[in-house]
Amino acid sequence: MSPEELKRYARHFVLPEFGRAGQAQLKAAKVLVVGAGGLGSPVLLYLAAAGIGEIGIIDDDIVDISNLRRQDLYTDADIGRSKVVAAKERIQALNPHIKVNIYQQRLNIENVLELIAPYDIVADGTDNFPTRYLVNDACVLAGKINVYASIFRFEGQVAVFNYPNPDGSRGVNYRDLFPEPPDPEAVPNCAEGGVLGVLPGIIGSMQANEVIKVAAKVGEPLAGRLFLFDAAAFSTRVLKIPKNPAVQIQSLEALATYCAVPEQDYQEIDITTYQTWKVNQVPHLLVDVREPNEYEIHQMGGLLIPLGQIKEKVDQIPRDLKVVVHCKSGARSVSAIRILQNDYGFDNLWNLKGGILAWEQTIKV
Amino acid sequence: MPKLSFTPALKRFFPDIKEAQHAGNTVRELLDNLEQEYPGLNSYLRDETGALRQHINIFIDQSLIQDRIHLQDQLKEAEEVLIFQALSGG
């Protein structure tokens, strides 16, 4: 360690359980952070500050203004930029003594094993079930420790999965808790259900704490246990997770369908084409399927029908006119189109590619 | 009788649900009794076959239930039944 690093990490050295040995372990550690959002923000800041030697960041998203309320890795000036590029700049500025690798892509069944291979620990801060099961199963197959955290509204969960036991076997994983993945539609995400802004800061810091403990081999990791936090009641619990003998993870094949990006079964229009429709006054109706609170903040003049009300308000959608459906980034609008096409036989719908985010980006330029 | 506890997700859909003692010798009996008091709760927690939904799980005191399908875990000695669910947000 350089003299500058010795000064930087001085407060770790004086921790008797940590010392220079613990710091050297951090410097030697390689951690992949999956998702640079709410949880990824504090995780990346604390891991970089603590001196984790090599940090990988994977995320395919761009910074949106609605992220800034909780994703404190980014600033106003980052809006519209790649998250991984902005995150790397920020944590490299915080600590120039670490190596940062970025991957602007989505984890999938084909790339996951290759991407996690160079790392010792994976910190799972993704925002969807398919990626969570993918990270879990890949960590089990590749023998990586999975430091897991998740949040929703006022609730948070933290655990350390697949931690090595003294006898060489591995500890419990996410499937010991929830054996089979749920239908993603059955459980709302933070964009639909909301999340308390400070919650990812609390839970992400706990996740970072576990990564640092595991990497430095300090303390008792949260392995075989599940931490539950309810911010509204300020109640916490730590519960033991038993091994479920029925859980067998032998390949990623079981996730092939669950994680597959479904084939495009709808028409799509990009922003440039949509602009020409507007300029040429092509008759159409724009429908916005976001929530009313999102609509209040910014909108494109569409008719507001939140995704959850699409069935009861189906009569408001014409069948004899082109209808362009949009949401924030294009995911909920596809769900709306699928419902309208499959259940009600609409054939006049176009998905606005990239949603209002893409529209604002183009308008800015 | 065990005390029923739950994480906040249930409160979202059943705002009147209370952390209180409820009768039942097995998890299944407890959930059936709860349904009387909170109609619709079971269809949130259980699928059409009666098994727990994939994103739901239940602790009896410090132990996860063993039988997600028929919900036959015994509650005779139990002090608390905690219903919680998977979270996907990040």
Secondary structure of residue B62 in the 3-state scheme: coil
**C-alpha to C-alpha distance for A119 and A124, rounded to whole angstroms:** 13
Residue A353 scores a pLDDT above 60: yes
Rounded to a whole number of angstroms, the distance from the CA of A358 to the nearest CA of chain B is 22
Query: Cβ of B49 under 8 Å from any chain A Cβ?
Result: no
Average pLDDT over residues A338-355: 94
Q: How far is CA B63 from CA A134, A221, A239, B76, in A?
A: 26, 20, 8, 14
pTM: 0.80
Contact B87 A150 (CB under 8 A): yes
Query: Cβ of A302 under 8 Å from any chain B Cβ?
Result: no
Phi-psi region of A192 (alpha: psi -120 to 50; beta: other; left: phi over 0): alpha
Secondary structure (DSSP) of A42-94: HHHHHHHHHT-SEEEEE---B--GGGTTT-TT--GGGTTSBHHHHHHHHHHHH
Query: Cβ of A38 under 8 Å from any chain B Cβ?
Result: yes
Sorted by sequence, the CB contacts under 8 Å of residue A293 that are 6+ apart come out as none
Helix intervals (H) in chain A: 3-8, 10-13, 19-28, 40-50, 83-94, 112-116, 129-142, 174-177, 190-193, 199-216, 256-259, 271-279, 292-297, 331-344, 355-364
Residue B13 scores a pLDDT above 90: no
Residue of A237, A241, A244, A247 to mutate when probing chain B, most B C-beta within 10 A: A237
Asked whether the beta carbons of A195 and A155 are under 8 A apart, the reply is no
Kindly report the average pLDDT of chain B as a whole number: 91
Of A263 and B79, the structure prediction assigns the larger pLDDT to B79
For the segment A148-182, what is each residue's pLDDT rounded down to a tens digit?
999 999 999 999 999 999 999 999 999 999 999 98
Contact A155 B9 (CB under 8 A): yes
Contact B87 A128 (CB under 8 A): no
Predicted complex ipTM: 0.92
Residue A262 scores a pLDDT above 80: no
Residue of A131, A157, A183, A196 to mutate when probing chain B, most B C-beta within 10 A: A157
Query: What pLDDT band is residue A326 in, cutting at 50, 70 and 90?
Result: very high
Q: How far is CA A86 from CA A63, A94, A102, in A?
A: 9, 12, 10
**C-alpha to C-alpha distance for B58 and A239, rounded to whole angstroms:** 11
Handedness of CA A76, A77, A81, A84 (dihedral sign): negative
Query: What pLDDT band is residue A364 in, cutting at 50, 70 and 90?
Result: low
Contact A127 B85 (CB under 8 A): no
Query: What pLDDT band is residue B62 in, cutting at 50, 70 and 90?
Result: confident
Secondary structure (DSSP) of A92-109: HHH-TTSEEEEE-S---T
Contact B88 A232 (CB under 8 A): no
Q: Beta-carbon neighbour count of residue A3 at 10 Å?
A: 7
Number of residues written out for chain A: 365
Burial class (CB in 10 A: 0-12, 13-18, 19+), A156: buried
Query: Cβ of A239 under 8 Å from any chain B Cβ?
Result: yes
% of chain A exceeding 90 in pLDDT:
80
Sorted by sequence, the CB contacts under 8 Å of residue A77 that are 6+ apart come out as none
C-alpha atoms less than 13 angstroms from C-alpha of B32 in its C-beta half-sphere: 11
Contact A181 B54 (CB under 8 A): yes
Chain A to chain B Cβ contacts (< 8 Å): 89
Q: Provide the token pair at A30.
A: 């390689």
Chain A residues 121-180 with a CB less than 8 Å from chain B:
124-129, 132, 149-157, 177-180
For the segment A112-133, what is each residue's pLDDT rounded down to a tens digit?
999 999 999 999 999 999 999 9
Residue A349: φ, ψ to 5°: -110, 140
Q: C-alpha angle with apex A45: A16 to A164, nearest 5 degrees?
A: 60
Taking Cα atoms as reference points, which of A160, A256, A270, A143 lies closest to residue A206? Answer: A160
Residue A365 scores a pLDDT above 60: no
pLDDT at A243: 94
Query: What pLDDT band is residue A258 in, cutting at 50, 70 and 90?
Result: confident
Query: What pLDDT band is residue A186 in, cutting at 50, 70 and 90?
Result: low
Rounded to a whole number of angstroms, the distance from the CA of B25 to the nearest CA of chain A is 23
pLDDT at A185: 64
Query: What pLDDT band is residue A37 in, cutting at 50, 70 and 90?
Result: very high
Chain A residues in contact with B86 (beta carbon < 8 A): 129, 150, 177-178, 182, 187
Residue A189 scores a pLDDT above 70: no
**C-alpha to C-alpha distance for A312 and A316, rounded to whole angstroms:** 9
Q: What is the DSSP letter of A121?
A: E
For the segment A236-252, what is each residue's pLDDT rounded down to a tens digit?
999 999 999 999 999 99
Q: Any idea which of A123-137, A218-232, B7-21 has the lowest mean pLDDT? A: B7-21
Helix intervals (H) in chain B: 8-13, 27-37, 41-45
pLDDT at A188: 64
Taking Cα atoms as reference points, which of A53, A29, A46, A206 lies closest to residue A121? Answer: A29
Query: Cβ of A201 under 8 Å from any chain B Cβ?
Result: no
Our CA dihedral for A117, A119, A125, A130, rounded to 10 degrees, sits at 10
Taking Cα atoms as reference points, which of A172, A159, A138, A164 lies closest to residue A211? Answer: A159
Secondary structure of residue A230 in the 3-state scheme: strand
Specify the residue for token string 């790339």.
A111
Residue A360 scores a pLDDT above 80: yes
- Comparing CB atoms, the residue among A182, A193, A200 nearest residue B53 is A182
pLDDT at A362: 78
Q: Beta-carbon neighbour count of residue A180 at 10 Å?
A: 13
Contact A237 B64 (CB under 8 A): no
Rounded to a whole number of angstroms, the distance from the CA of A244 to the nearest CA of chain B is 9
Residue A304: its H or E element: strand A303-304
Sheet of B63-64: strand order equals B3-6, B80-85, B56-60, B63-64
Chain A residues in contact with B84 (beta carbon < 8 A): 228
Query: Cβ of A228 under 8 Å from any chain B Cβ?
Result: yes
pLDDT at A226: 97
* Helices and strands, number each (H, E), in chain A: 15, 13
pLDDT at A100: 98
- Comparing CB atoms, the residue among A154, A177, A195 nearest residue B57 is A177
